[in-house]
Chains A and B, each alone.
Chain A
Amino acid sequence: SSHEYKLNFKKSKEICLSYIQDAMLQKQWKKAAEFLTFYSESLEKDFSTEYVSPSEMIWRIGTEILCHHSHSSMKEFNSFTEQMKSLGVKRYLKVCLEHTFHLLCNGLIDEAYQNLSLSESWRFGEQTIIQDKEMKLIKAYRGLLDYYNWSKQKNILLEHGQDGFEDLSVEQEMHSCFRKAAVNLKEIIKIPGVWDLFVKCYVDLLEFYGDHNEARQVLNEYAYNSKFPANPNAHVYLYQFLKRHGESKKSLVSALKILHDVVPSHELMIDFNIMLQKSKKRKRRRLGLEVIFAVLDYAGWKENVKAWSCLAKQVKQIVISEKHLDWIQQEWNSRKDWWPAFHFSRYLAKRNWQENESLSYEKALVAGILLGKGCKYFKYVSHRGCQAQVKRFRILKKFVNKHNPVYLRISG
């Protein structure tokens, strides 16, 4: 019966697909290609109701095989892609985009550009939402390539400019590239999403032509629009922009403060802490302590000397001045039940001492102040340091012994 036939047909295609998959996963590209030719039968009678249709499967598998097959060439890849474009109208733009990526990865930037402009002019029936999205992406990538073109021309001009030689045609071309790039880049970054690369390029363009207000607006929108996913990079770009344009400390601090709230473990937090420590305002120094404590909560920072020295410096300052000990106390309260095991165990003392002496010095200072002179970490490191006749460890021991009452106040 026809139903049985359909069932058998489907089954045999499924088996074929699993053979292809097996061959590909064992890097037998030739075998996979042979099986794929059999699988193409399934195009004739597409009974499937699967998420991925056979024609899409063939496109994906074929691309993968051509990427790895030892005998494949760019020419073959191009002709395969052309065939795939005609195979499914709904997928046309997707295939084009993928083709462009492949060309780009192989360094064929001009061909990629051509490919993009060609697919931009493609029209089929009424545009669906997905098609609309894909079209925007294609335009955006063309904008990106325009941007690269622009920066190339810019570099040529800058080099020539030094020689005192002006080339009008290059300059004109550069400006036309700018216009083309700007239109498309502006369009894509309006859609909520992660567009780091496009935003950076667009801002670079705007800055070059001196449109700082627009650039700032774009970055602000990218960082603060709640429709966009929470993206720490957006805040980083904004901060870098503000820093480049010599903005006031206040705006820099507020930008970094938000970054601190979003990602307390960001690398910029070290700069932030240094900036805040230098500040004369009490509130900012308080924030600085909070920031550096938060950074060291994260496993990724556990062995970072820079971070530990920042904390050690600020804690030392506070202890010497004997003002604001309550700041330390407040920070320590939420950490005292797990920091000792996380940072100041005997095992870590041993290992840090062996692997990184300066790290163990900074940590021992913090441990001595936070946990007192009886703390395992401090005892081990200072003992070893004194044994090794390193001067700074002797000073450290004296310092901690002298300020031991501070520990009692913090823990009390």
Chain B
Amino acid sequence: PLSPQAGTTFVPRRGGMGESWEPADAAAVPLLPPNASCWVPSVAPQDILYRGVLRGKLQAGKCGATLDFTKKLSHFFVDHPEDAFGSLGRLLHQNFYLGNSKLKVSVHPAVTMPSITPPLAAAIPSLCPLSSLQRQARDCTIRMTALREVIDRLEATRGCPRKHLIPRLRWFSHLSRDWLFEVPLGLLADCVHEDLLLQWASLLFDDSPTGGALAWLPPRDMGARTGCLVYPGGQAMNHLCILPRGVSLGREGRGHVALPLAGSPDFQDVVLEELPCARGSPAQFELNGRIRQVAAAQVDGEDFVGVRSDYHCGVWRVSGRTGATPTPLQVIRTSVPASCLTVSPHLPGELAVCTQSGAIYLWNVETGLQRLRHDPQTMFFRDNSPWRWSDFTAHPRVLSCADRTGLQCLDTRAPTRCHFDLFKVGEEAGCQQGERVVLPMYMGRAYSSQHLITTQFSVYVLDERLPLVPVLKWAHMMKAPPLFAHLTPGGPRRSHKVLLGTSRTQELLLLQYRGEERGSGGGSRSACRLAGPPQKLHSIASCLQHLPAQLPHQHCLLQQRLGAPAAGLAAALQEDGSRESLLVFQLSEAGDEAERPQQPCASSQPSSAPQEAERPQEPCASPQPSPAAALRYRRWMQALSKGCGEPPQRSRPPTFGQKRLFTRKELEEPSAPSTLHRQARQRLHQAMRDGGRIQRWDPPPPALPQPLEPAAGDLDPLSTRLTAAWGWDWERWWEERTSFNMAQRQQALRERRRQQKRAR
């Protein structure tokens, strides 16, 4: 890793001198008020894994997790009894009158219904008392009265967090599950299992937020100080907010301008949709899907913002004039979730879209969609990830397209013929086993022909002119794969800043990078290298310790909320005379549409956390946040507790039946109160009269016996010792005794020596 320049000077490819950036504050500072919509924490591994089995397996030395399928299903029966037993139970109810007498109903396990459609009449006979089945009755008899009692109690304890599954009910559902349930068990099991697998996969690695849902639109000219921050908000992160920074937030967003849609293309995969409308200010648009990615690029003095949700992609134009409303230009709908949306830095209104079916489209707002490739297989070797990515290159007509195995560049004018391999996971790049492409990024703003490629282990810089051989490689050692990357070009003779961010662990790294620089003579060049050691920046979770103190359970909730996976990353370079600062914005996604995909109501928190890093090397700030930051923390906390402090209360407070706490015998009132009872009653009355408390139910203990009067004359050592112990003075006694002993022994020693002397 070195590159000799002209002459014999050697420059390290890594390390060396870079600019020194210091954090401006002790931790990340919240930028926006917290998203006030209700919030459910995201799924954790222990929600899906069955702990008992897992531990057992781990101890046995086996790896591999087991999905807790049975537990999930049993939860379903108890959490959603309406769905599980619902209408069928109601229909059956009429024929199910059991009277008040103690009635025995036996259920024959052999009577199973293949489906729930056959008439109910067929099911009813099995409920009648069948005397001929007495032999098996023991195993498959349920006392219905007791069961009804149980069900009644279940109704009473609804919403109680401590309810257990009652064995009798469980037995009943086991016996009757084939015919009683609303949803056929097999089907339900398949669905639950599929969902569990999906959730598990997304827990291991969720690539849907790749690219990040946060964008900074820099001001047009360096003089103007107003840029725009584009981020998702709202209950389901389905509102696109465009917030001008530095402008007062009072303006009304004006309505949208409907553009004539381009002729609808004849692809089954992707079609054009209606445009969303603006609502409120800062310019806000409600979309019908969770926003996964926000991409932006500036072309011809206008910003083009691409927004990707699972099945919809849209493009907005934000013109340079301050105060102008963002204009939605076009929306497309995909039948398969889209995995990538990038905006061309070369041509206005041009984007690249990829879907999980392996299709890549060039999307031009004026000319419509052009499908460049459709290949469900990966490029270089088999990998079952449907993730695809595409970005622009130095040539406006050439797109890069990526899957987990590598990158290819293809010419949009002849996509089937003209293409070349840019990066391949394999030997040329010195890849590790299992290494996969995570995020490619075109670094055109720094060097027109270079691309940044991140994998779960390393960062590569590739040059289109010298494909397949990375110009630079660096092992980033991040705990999760970096899904977000941001480039801040550094201008001539300055290093470029690359920010890498991970989702689940919220890590943020700042790298400084110098690409090829031509020396003054034109001949000597320095190779690409990393300048200075990489730096870690504060994550959102880092501000927890600076927030006002909370009650433990609230602290826990807050910790969970702040520790939610990151959803995006953006940065803005601000120059203020000689002082330069880099504002880093990080967006966190808290929760997701975990349990019920069709009703994505629980998710939130775009608490963007800006970070400032100042370049002029200052003495490192004290670890305490600045007063301004402290104020922001307090405000944010206030807003949080006001808006969504407590999770919504359940309809009924939990109740406990006391019936089962005591036996009937225990509850029976004794015929005559005992003396103890009487005493207790008296004391209670007394305490109530005095308004005092009863500290001890037991009668006061007898007074301590008086210590023995030390008898005159010397006592035997045991007595003195016991007396000392009784009078709480044992320690002193022990010390005295040891010192006394010492003195005695010394005396004895002296005596002996004297005797020895004499003897000689």
Contact = CB atoms under 8 A, between A and B. Distances in A.
Interface of A: 3-4, 18, 21-22, 24-27, 51, 64, 67-68, 101-102, 104-105, 107, 109, 144, 148, 194, 197, 229-233, 262-263, 265-266, 297-300, 334, 337-338, 341-342, 345, 347-348, 351
B468 A299 contact: no
Nearest to B22: A27
B535 A27 contact: yes
A25 B509 contact: yes
A232 B516 CA distance: 15
Nearest to B433: A51
A341 B2 contact: no
Max chain A Cβ within 10 angstroms of own Cβ: one of B345, B367, B465, B534: B465
Interface string B160-183: 000000000000000000000000
A300 B449 contact: yes
In the A-B complex, the 9 residue pairs with the smallest Cβ-Cβ separation, listed nearest first, are: A300-B448, A25-B536, A347-B300, A104-B10, A263-B465, A105-B12, A299-B448, A101-B2, A105-B10
B158 interface: no
Given A25-B534, A101-B10, A347-B300, A299 B396 contact: yes
Interface string B345-373: 11110000000000000000001000000
Interface in B648-675: none
B150 interface: no
Contact of A338 (B11, B12, B397, B477): B397
A337 B362 CA distance: 14
Interface in B1-18: 1-4, 8-12, 15-16
B301 interface: yes
Contacts of A27: 533, 535
B535 A148 contact: no
Given A197-B4, A265-B449, A342-B396, A229 B469 contact: yes
A22 B538 CA distance: 11
B394 A341 contact: no
A361 B479 CA distance: 54
B680 interface: no
Given A105-B12, A229-B469, A299 B2 contact: no
Contact of A232 (B10, B397, B466): B466
B300 A348 contact: yes
Nearest to B20: A27
A232 B413 CA distance: 24
Contacts of A144: 4
Contact of B396 (A102, A148, A233, A297): A297
B533 A22 contact: no
A64 B532 CA distance: 11
Contact of A334 (B1, B413, B479): B413
A233 B469 CA distance: 13
A341 B348 contact: yes
A232 B469 CA distance: 12
Given A22-B536, A347-B300, 20 more contacts: A3-B61, A104-B4, A104-B10, A105-B2, A105-B11, A105-B12, A148-B8, A194-B469, A229-B428, A229-B466, A229-B469, A233-B466, A263-B465, A266-B465, A298-B394, A299-B394, A299-B395, A341-B348, A342-B346, A348-B300
B413 A25 contact: no
14 contacts: A3-B59, A24-B533, A26-B536, A64-B15, A109-B8, A194-B466, A230-B466, A232-B466, A297-B395, A297-B397, A299-B396, A299-B444, A345-B300, A347-B300
B347 to A, nearest CB: 5
Contact of A21 (B448, B469, B477, B535): B477
Max chain A Cβ within 10 angstroms of own Cβ: one of B61, B396, B428, B432: B396
Given A25-B535, A105-B2, A232 B396 contact: no
B753 to A, nearest CB: 53
Max chain A Cβ within 10 angstroms of own Cβ: one of B10, B59, B397, B479: B10
B465 A265 contact: yes
A310 B413 CA distance: 26
Contacts of A148: 8
Instruction: Report, as a range, how many residues of chain B touch the other chain.
Output: 35 or more
Nearest to A6: B61
A231 B463 CA distance: 11
Contacts of A51: 432-433
B310 to A, nearest CB: 31
A334 B394 CA distance: 17
A26 B533 CA distance: 9
A338 B396 contact: yes
A60 B564 CA distance: 32
B133 to A, nearest CB: 51
A385 to B, nearest CB: 21
Contacts of B449: 265, 298, 300
Contacts of B465: 232, 262-263, 265-266
B184 interface: no
Nearest to B13: A101
B466 A68 contact: no
Interface string B482-508: 000000000000000000000000000
Nearest to A52: B475
B417 to A, nearest CB: 14
Contacts of B347: 338, 341-342
Given A265-B465, A347-B301, A299 B346 contact: yes
A262 B535 CA distance: 38
B41 interface: no
A107 B12 CA distance: 11
Contact of A230 (B300, B444, B467, B533): B467
Contacts of A64: 15, 533
Contact of B535 (A26, A109, A231): A26
A264 B10 CA distance: 31
Contacts of B4: 104, 144, 197
Contacts of B300: 345, 347-348
A345 B449 CA distance: 23
Contacts of A297: 395-397
A298 B448 contact: yes
Nearest to A3: B61
A101 B300 CA distance: 46
Nearest to B509: A25
Contacts of A348: 300
Contacts of A197: 3-4
Given A27-B535, A334-B413, A101 B12 contact: yes
Interface string B439-472: 0000010001100000000000000011111000
Contact of A298 (B61, B345, B348, B395): B395
Nearest to A335: B397
Contact of B394 (A26, A262, A300): A300
Nearest to A60: B475
A313 B367 CA distance: 33
A386 B201 CA distance: 66
Contacts of A105: 2, 10-12, 16
Nearest to A26: B536
Given A25-B536, A265-B449, A101 B1 contact: yes
Contact of A68 (B15, B397, B448, B509): B15
Nearest to B536: A25
A235 B394 CA distance: 21
A275 B469 CA distance: 31
Interface in B378-401: 394-397
Max chain B Cβ within 10 angstroms of own Cβ: one of A107, A232, A298, A334: A298
Interface in B295-354: 300-301, 345-348
Interface string B390-427: 00001111000000000000000100000000000000
A3 to B, nearest CB: 6
A143 to B, nearest CB: 13
B346 to A, nearest CB: 6
A237 to B, nearest CB: 13
Contacts of A104: 2, 4, 10
A161 B346 CA distance: 57
A233 to B, nearest CB: 8
